[in-house]
Amino acid sequence: MAEQKDQSNRIGKILVIGTLAALVAAYFIFPSYKGFMDSIFAAFATGDFTVMRDFVAEYGAWAAVISFFLMIFQAIAAPLPAFIITLANANLFGWWKGAALSWSSAMAGAAVCFAIARVLGRSAAEKLTSRAGLQSIDVFFERYGTHSILIARLLPFISFDLVSYAAGLTSMGFWPFFIATGIGQLPATIVYSYVGGMLTGGAQMLVTGLLILFALSALVVLLRQMYRERQKQREAKLR
């Protein structure tokens, strides 16, 4: 039984490493693929969902497929912003179709990140993200225990992709992770998509500012709660 598990782990590592290596090699070998990837990075770099929307729309009937790929790609290449794709999907496909596309593709991206971390281990996850980022999520997991994934998905300022990688490094089962991710991610996806379906011009700046304000407010509340818990722990130790 143990030998079969070790063999499946080795096969998994070979498949994951081979796929990632092939994608990197293709970037340097095929000019058309390199141009495609460069245009993706350029669209993300603008931080403008209309640029991403126009980029996806260029592919016509394949637009939804390209968007799905982009969401998975940004998950692997953390910390590219996912909300740009979510807003673009809603603006291009309509809010509820865009929400369905964004939610399902984000779930797929989370599953891929979880699998990469589970198969390749911490060193690979740190190279794809950051050591400090994973350590901060480790602390979060220790503090909130079994509800960590659901809580993290509900908080917009906690990196979606870092949580997925960090979860793959724990003993957590895939399905509890996947279900908690789906439930926790749904409210934010619906809100972003509903807003994204209405965004034009100056409204984009207004909503972006409001989202940042909301994220900062939630961060202050969380930090305050963490501070109070630490104070309680210190007082308990002194007794």
Write the pLDDT tens digit of every residue in 77-113.
877 888 889 989 999 999 999 999 999 999 999 999 9
- pLDDT for 78 equals 76
Percent of the chain with pLDDT over 70: 82
Give pLDDT tens digits for 161-211.
999 999 999 999 999 999 999 998 988 888 888 877 776 655 555 555 556
The separation between the first and the last C-alpha atoms of the chain, rounded to the nearest angstrom, is 50
Q: Are 64 and 57 in contact (CB under 8 A)?
A: no
How many beta carbons lie within 10 A of that of residue 7, not counting itself? 10
CA 95 to chain centre: 20
Give pLDDT tens digits for 156-172.
678 899 999 999 999 99
Kindly report the average pLDDT of the chain as a whole number.
Answer: 85
Rounded Cα gap, residues 124 and 129, in angstroms: 9
- pLDDT for 55 equals 96
Q: Are 153 and 163 in contact (CB under 8 A)?
A: yes
- pLDDT for 213 equals 55
Predicted TM-score (pTM) of the model is 0.82
Rounded Cα gap, residues 49 and 155, in angstroms: 21
Q: Averaged over 216-230, what is the pLDDT?
A: 63
The radius of gyration computed from the CA coordinates of the chain, to the nearest angstrom, equals: 19
Give pLDDT tens digits for 5-26.
667 678 888 888 899 899 999 9
Q: Averaged over 106-129, what is the pLDDT?
A: 94
- pLDDT for 101 equals 97
- pLDDT for 6 equals 66
Rounded Cα gap, residues 55 and 71, in angstroms: 14
